[in-house]
Amino acid sequence: MGIASQRANASQQPPEQDFLYRLAHDLARSPDAKTIADHLFSRAQQLLGADYSSLFLVNPAGTELEEVAAYGEGAESLNQERIDLQQDFAPIVQAFRQQRPIVERDWFNDPQLSARFRKRYELIRGVWVVPLLNGTRAVGAMVLGFVTRRKASAEEIRLLQILGDEAALALERAHLTEALRTSEERYRDLFENANDIIYTHDLLGNFTSLNATGERLLGYNRTEVLALNILQVLAPEYLSLGREVLDKQLVGRASPTYAIDMLAKDGRRIPVDVNARLLYRQGVPIGYQGIARDVTERRRTEAQQQESASVSAALAEIGQELLASFDMPTALDRLCRLAAKALNAAYSHTMLRESAEEGYRIVAASEGTAEQIEERQTLKLPRRRLARLFTRLAQGGIVTQTTKALRDPVIQRMFQRFHIATVLHIPLRRGSDIIGVLSVWYRQGQSLQPYHRQIALGIAQLASLVLANVKSIEELARANRLKQEFLGSVSHELRTPLNIIIGYNELLSEHSFGPLNPEQTRVLDRMSKSAKELLDLVNATLDLSRLQNRRDATVWQPVSLSTFFEELAVDMQPLRQHPNVKIFWHTAAALPALLTDPIKLRMIMKNLLANALKFTEAGNITVRAKREGSGLLLSVRDTGIGISPDSLSSIFEPFQQVPPTSPLKTKGVGLGLYIVRQLVETFGGTVSASSTLGKGSTFQVWLPLRKEPLPSATETALRAESRS
């Protein structure tokens, strides 16, 4: 619209009252500065015939005026002017300072007008400035421009004042509305898009709001939620906790946070940490607001950590027990038992490949009486029946089978008979070869957890290790046994010819085959001595080999020690070498009979006495028997050469001989004391030695007094070993 036509309209202006009323009405509905400017300027043009008009707002820092709207010919180019409040535009500075409209008729010719403004506003001659004030605070300015140097009447000045007041008010209101709107938007944004579920419900638990996150996670839309009660979105086991929290909170006693599982529309569980508070209106509680944080991820990590801890613990326990197995049956029994326990299964068994390779046989099970296990052991599965399983084991490591997926009708029937739902098969490897399978059975209702696979994998590795271990132990034991047997039989074979040699020697020495010259006698003596030493060695080796092969079972019988000593004294006669040595026998009065194996006890005492005689040239040997604690103490004391403290610690080891310290030292084998210790331990007793070099030695044997011939712990172990 041209300036001339606007002027023409001015003559048909509505009365001032009506004009102001309409302006106030329009401004009150203006949501922003631009609309306010629209209304202001159309009125200003109508009423005052302004050619140009601009609305400026004070920037937040209060330093500048920023143009937000401009009207008039070419106004678009004027738009977005910035004016420094302190200096740039004299009438504006003046208007703010005087807090009233300023009319500058000949603004263009003002010598102070800057070149910038002169150039930009070259059409404008007169300028009227209306300060927009909120109280005394500058909000903005309305600037009207005239192409003529027009005067303002007092009435027009008053009108300007009113326009300014209305505009300032409207701008302030728009500003506040805007601020409120943005803050509301910001709150809404926070509420809707929070990572947490935010909801409110009334005191009875009926939902009154739910944010977008809540809708998304729970799967209900807002309308559906408004028809629900909070208890309907709780997992059943948390219902009572939910009710309790609601009740307690009402009396101000609930814990501010609690952990529950929420239930989504599709039945999904969402573990959450809830932080709830009461909502009040005018001091009266009207409902609750809850913030529920989805802790699925955290719970999952916690659960995973717990799982890996239990996996490690289970494997450590299994490893410890398995690695302490030294023979195959024990290792396999333990493997089955431990696997069933660690994998929380009903039962487990191990099948091994038969050496002939035509099939597999169950060799151990976690459960069952000896007969049941034996019965199962007769069950042999042909190779072809298990071919598919073994192919899968070779490919994948661990195989799970469910009853449904079974193809073989025989195996399927077996599953059904025992109510088996799932079986986990763990390969047992020797190197890369699968030699068997450990099968772990789950009944219906027993669940196979994902971490069970990890345990199973660990078991597979442990089992291979243990099987290899046990195999080498068994091989070692077998080799050792073979060696002992060989030694035993060689010794045995040697004894007969040796005895013949010794016998003929004696006959020769006794001149049974004619007289001998002194030279021949000396040679014969040396032969005799060497042959006897060799016989000693052979005898000791035989004793040891019998002992180690557990050939001689212990024969328990009551032995009276006084009688035993009398017989022993007779036995020892031939061994006496030095006439200056006396043997004393002491048994304490009223000693109970000792339940023992007299042959083995004699072996013990003979060895000790033989040593005492061997290492004592002159003096005494005292043999005693007395009670000590729950057993009997037998001791052999001599006044011989003694043993140095260094040697004392090793004399019970096999083939240990003390370096000779005295010319008395005779040849020995170094097995006597070792045999003594072995025998004493068979009886469950102990042997010890004390000695002073040059003064003599004392050997003490303590044996438990038995009432019944119960096998000792060692014996039980030995028996088990000899069976295996």
* CA–centroid distance for 201 within its chain: 40
- Based on its alpha-carbon atoms, the radius of gyration of the chain, rounded to whole angstroms, reads 56
Between CA 85 and CA 111 the distance in angstroms is 19
What H or E segment, with its residue span, contains residue 390? Answer: helix 383-396
Shortest distance (Å) from residue 433 CB to ligand ADP: 47
Q: Which of 656, 686, 688, 690 binds ligand ADP (CB under 6 A)?
A: 656
Q: Which part of the chain contacts ligand ADP (CB under 6 A), choosing from 19-27, 60-68, 412-420, 654-662?
A: 654-662
Shortest distance (Å) from residue 644 CB to ligand ADP: 9
Q: Tell me how crowded residue 556 is: count the other CB atoms within 10 A of its CB.
A: 16
Between CA 312 and CA 300 the distance in angstroms is 18
Q: Which of 213, 454, 587, 697 binds ligand ADP (CB under 6 A)?
A: 697
Shortest distance (Å) from residue 545 CB to ligand ADP: 16
Shortest distance (Å) from residue 582 CB to ligand ADP: 15
* CA–centroid distance for 114 within its chain: 79
634 binds ligand ADP (CB under 6 A): no
Q: Which residue has the tokens 């943005």?
A: 182
651 binds ligand ADP (CB under 6 A): yes
**At a CB cut-off of 8 Å and minimum separation 6, what does 538 contact?**
491, 494, 495, 498
Q: Which of 33, 291, 658, 703 binds ligand ADP (CB under 6 A)?
A: 658
Which two tokens mark 420?
């088996």
Query: Strands 207-210 and 433-443, how do they pair?
Result: unpaired
Size of the chain in residues:
724
Which two tokens mark 350?
């191990």
103 binds ligand ADP (CB under 6 A): no
543 binds ligand ADP (CB under 6 A): no
Q: Which part of the chain contacts ligand ADP (CB under 6 A), choosing from 310-318, 649-657, 677-685, 701-709?
A: 649-657
The nearer residue to ligand ADP, 682 or 697, going by C-beta atoms, is 697
In what side-by-side order are the strands of the sheet with 64-71?
Answer: 82-84, 64-71, 52-58, 137-146, 126-134, 102-104
The nearer residue to ligand ADP, 334 or 614, going by C-beta atoms, is 614
**At a CB cut-off of 8 Å and minimum separation 6, what does 491 contact?**
538, 539, 541, 542, 545
Q: x/- site string to ligand ADP, residues 63 to 82, per CB under 6 A?
A: --------------------
Query: Strands 52-58 and 64-71, how do they pair?
Result: antiparallel
Shortest distance (Å) from residue 616 CB to ligand ADP: 7
Shortest distance (Å) from residue 612 CB to ligand ADP: 5
The nearer residue to ligand ADP, 400 or 686, going by C-beta atoms, is 686
The nearer residue to ligand ADP, 502 or 603, going by C-beta atoms, is 603
The nearer residue to ligand ADP, 333 or 533, going by C-beta atoms, is 533
Between CA 503 and CA 345 the distance in angstroms is 71
Which one-letter DSSP state was computed for residue 130?
E
* CA–centroid distance for 585 within its chain: 67
Shortest distance (Å) from residue 640 CB to ligand ADP: 5
643 binds ligand ADP (CB under 6 A): yes
Cα torsion angle, 287, 289, 294, 295, sign: negative
Q: x/- site string to ligand ADP, residues 583 to 622, per CB under 6 A?
A: ----------------------------xx--x-------
Shortest distance (Å) from residue 642 CB to ligand ADP: 6
Q: x/- site string to ligand ADP, residues 662 to 681, per CB under 6 A?
A: ------xxxxxxx-------
Q: Which part of the chain contacts ligand ADP (CB under 6 A), choosing from 80-88, 203-211, 463-471, 638-646?
A: 638-646
Shortest distance (Å) from residue 574 CB to ligand ADP: 17
Query: Which residues lie across from 288 on neighbouring strands?
Result: 201, 278
638 binds ligand ADP (CB under 6 A): yes
The footprint of ligand ADP on residues 307-336 (CB under 6 A) is none
640 binds ligand ADP (CB under 6 A): yes
Q: Which part of the chain contacts ligand ADP (CB under 6 A), choosing from 191-199, 288-296, 298-306, 652-660?
A: 652-660
Asked if residue 88 lies in contact with residue 95, where contact means CB atoms within 8 angstroms, the answer is no
Which two tokens mark 371?
């007969």
Determine the size of the site formed for ligand ADP (CB under 6 A). 20
The nearer residue to ligand ADP, 96 or 674, going by C-beta atoms, is 674
- Please spell the DSSP secondary structure of 394-462, one letter per residue: HHHS-EEEEGGG---HHHHHHHHHTTEEEEEEEEEEETTEEEEEEEEEEETT----HHHHHHHHHHHHH
**Binding positions for ligand ADP, rule: CB under 6 A:** 611-612, 615, 638, 640-643, 651, 656-658, 668-674, 697
